[in-house]
Amino acid sequence: MEDLILKLKKEIINVLNREDITPEDIDTEAPLFGDGLGLDSIDALELIVLLEENYGVKIEDPKEGRKIFNSVKTMAEYIQKHQKN
């Protein structure tokens, strides 16, 4: 789980072009959207692509995304639950 969380943080920074932060800056349980990292709806779409491309986990309904992307922790949990091995 720890490895996955670190990997996710790096991928988030990469996909969302956040050159201004490091994985250490991202609190695993803090909200990613709104006040947290300040991500928006376009970022949510990019994260949906990320999940499918890197983990084979498909999110059909973007509204589901809000819960899944609440924090890095919830993302990691969702991946572990749905990833096909």
Residue 64 found at the interface with another protein (CB under 8 A): no
Count residues near another protein (CB under 8 A). Answer: 18
Distance separating alpha carbons of residues 83 and 56, to the nearest angstrom:
6
Q: Which stretch binds another protein (CB under 8 A): 1-9, 24-32, 33-41, 72-80?
A: 33-41
Distance separating alpha carbons of residues 43 and 38, to the nearest angstrom:
10
Kindly tell me which residue out of 20, 24, 35, 67 binds another protein, with binding defined by CB under 8 A: 20
Provide the angle, in degrees to the nearest 10, between the axes of the packed helices 2-15 and 72-82.
Answer: 110
Helix (H, G, I), strand (E, B) or coil at 84: coil
Nearest distance from C-beta of residue 11 to another protein, angstroms: 13
Kindly tell me which residue out of 53, 66, 80, 83 binds another protein, with binding defined by CB under 8 A: 53
